[in-house]
Each structure stands twice: as C-alpha cells, then as structure tokens.
Amino acid sequence: MNLFNLEYDITLEEILKNVTEEQIFSYYMNIDVNFKKKYINTFRKDSHPNCFFKVSKGGNLYFVDYGFPEQPYLSAVDVVMMRYGCNYKRALSHIKTDLMCNFAANSKQIIQKTVITKEAFNTSSTEIKISLTKFKQSDIDYWESFGVTKETLKRYNVRKVDKVWINDRLWYLYSDLDPCYRYKEKNRFKLYRPLGTKKNKFRSNLYGGILEGYTQLPDLGNTLIITKSSKDVMTLASLGFNAVAVRSESTPLSENAYNLLKERFKKIFLWFDPDNAGVAGASKMSEKYNLPMFTHDISFGKDASDIYKNKGKTFLVKLIKDQLKK
C-alpha cells in the first residue's frame, strides 16, 4: 500500500508511525508543546492562559481546556477537526496531506498540496515562506471599516495569508480568530496580524529606508502625508490624500528619501499617533526637515484609520482639511 496515495483512507495508527502527536498539536495550534507552560486556546475567545498539555495513563497526549466543559480533553485529531470544522475521517486526511510530506522519515515521496500562491523572502539569518489564500467577506468587512476597499487592497498589493514558515518552522497557520495579511513593497514584505499579541503582531524584512506605499505614489502632487502604517496610508489614499509610511515611529526618514519626496510634492506633513512615542518621533523628524505636524485629540482614535472607523469618513476628511489650512 502506498502511504502517499491520497485516494485511500489512512488510519491514526499509520499516521503516528510517521508523525508524533506533539508535531500535530504544534502544527495546527502554532505552539510548542511544553508541559510546564500554560496556554490560551486559539479556537475560542480566551484571554487567560489556563490550558495545558497532559499525557494520559494510556500514553496519549491531550490539550486540557476546562473552558470546554463538554470536552475538556482534546486529542490531536480533535484539534484538527476543530481547525477545519470536519469529521474524524476528514481530519486524518488533512494530517496526511499537511504533515506527512514534512515529517515522514522513511519515504522520499511528497504529497503535493495546492496553494494559491507561494512567496519567500530572506534576510541574512532568516528565511520566511508564505502561502496565500483568498479574502473572505469577513476580511473585506474588516478593511472596509477603515475605509479600505477591495480595490484599494488590490492597488496596494495586500493579500491574505494562509501559512507562514520561518526557517522551515511553521510560524502562522490561518484561523478566523487570528487573520494575517501580507504587505509588499518592492521585493520586501511585512506580515500584519490585527488580533496578534505585541510580540507577533508584525513580522517584516523591510529595512529602514523603505517607505510603505511609496510604489503607489503619483509622480507629482500638491501634498503628501507621512504616517506610520500601511493601514493609515490606505485609509488616506481612499480619501484622495497621498501618503507613505515609515517603518515605525522611531525609524528616521533618510535624507535621500526626504529629498526624493521634496522634489515630487509641494507640501509634506507628518502625522503620527498622539502618544509619547508618536509625538517624540514626529518632533524629531519635524525638527530635522522643518516639516509641519498634524495633531488630533486621541479620543477620536489613535490614528487616521481608527478615526475613520470611530468617527466616519466625513469627520476624518474635515479633520485633515482643517489641519492642512493650519
């Protein structure tokens, strides 16, 4: 029997001859199995790390979550069933397709899984590979709440991520509770997880001099707003305002980049968040290049995209025009 024939029904016993339960949990939950650690269950809204791994008397590994009173002990196959919303038989098929090509030690054959797009980028010490998938309506709704339409996403080459591998180790696996999007500037990328933690919300190989949204700028223009995120750039662009973003509020704008922008735009403004980091970063850049700074009440939202979501399009447009008059 060919282990890699996708047409026949595989058993759990056959899978576990090639893949461990730890590897299944790690792959589908995007975590490392550590018996001394407490976890958040990514399959439900869970803000407290109270879950843990336990080995039963029979030697089986379980993810224990008492937030699921009907089934507090989740096996590796249970997790796959939850990930895909499928039955037991289909879950085994997913494990065979997703994992055995990577972990089967005694075979050189590879299961081919179709993905929409594959991309990879490298730094001196890191290789990141990405597979992309299609937007769902929930993704479109999320972006439109900031005024960013599907057409704007296409213009700025923003794509939805299915999986990410960093140095051949799975770093991200798609979940409705943790979507991920890919920005692209030239041949460089930034990964954005809106619901991620501070530690994993962004991952990037953009280097300091790259300005996000630079590729989409017109050759010449009257005004340009320098902000601090691609999301703000797209919100502003959807309203008809030219914008680019520095890599972060603490990343300085290079003199070369400033000179290039100054040749193309008559007026350049800075608009960072009204918190300590944003004010400090904008003030430093304003002093160096003699650029005016936008200011706004933080109660409106922390940035342009949040203001659009909280206060609406008309409010944001008036706010920007008032700032430009000053």
Distance in angstroms (rounded) separating the CA atoms of residues 85 and 254: 49
Question: Burial, 309: exposed, middle or buried (Cβ in 10 Å; 0-12, 13-18, 19+)?
Answer: middle
Give the mean pLDDT of the chain: 84
Contact present, 49 and 63 (Cβ < 8 Å): no
Which pLDDT belongs to residue 208?
Answer: 58
**CB neighbour list of residue 220: distance below 8 Å, 6 or more residues apart:** 264, 265
Q: Would you kindly state where each structural domain of the chain is located, as residue ranges? A: 12-103, 117-204, 214-325
Cα dist from 230 to 174, 211, 234, 244, whole Å: 21, 9, 6, 8
What is the separation, in whole angstroms, between the first and last Cα of the chain?
A: 76
> Nearest CA to 53 among 68, 32, 70, 71?
32
Q: Which residues contact 139 (CB under 8 A, 6 or more apart)?
A: 160, 179, 181
Residue with the two structure tokens 């998938």: 133
Average pLDDT of the segment spanning 138-149:
96
What separation in angstroms does the CA of 321 have from each of 33, 273, 276, 325?
53, 18, 24, 6
Q: What is the pLDDT of residue 192?
A: 93
For residues 9 and 198, which has the higher predicted lDDT (pLDDT)? 198
- Mean predicted confidence (pLDDT) in 180-190: 84
The pLDDT-based confidence of 100 (bands split at 50, 70, 90) is low
pTM above 0.85, yes or no: no
The string of pLDDT tens digits covering residues 46-69 is 778 889 998 887 778 899 998 887
Domain 214-325 annotated CATH 3.40.1360.10: yes
Q: Tell me the average pLDDT across 69-91.
A: 88
pLDDT (tens digit, 9 = 90+) per residue, 217-255?
A: 999 999 999 999 999 999 999 999 999 999 878 777 889
| Distance, CA of 189 to CA of 205 (rounded, Å) | 6
DSSP code for 325: H
The model's confidence at residue 126, banded by pLDDT at 50, 70 and 90, is low
Between 170 and 180, the higher pLDDT residue: 180
- Which among 8-12, 64-68, 294-298 has the top mean pLDDT? 294-298
d(CA 157, CA 117): 13
* Mean per-residue pLDDT, 174-193: 85
Which of the residue ranges 172-181, 232-241, 275-284 has the most confident prediction, judged by mean pLDDT? 232-241
Instruction: Please tell me the predicted confidence (pLDDT) of residue 124.
Output: 46
User: What's the token pair of residue 139?
Assistant: 């993704």
Has residue 30 got a pLDDT over 50? yes
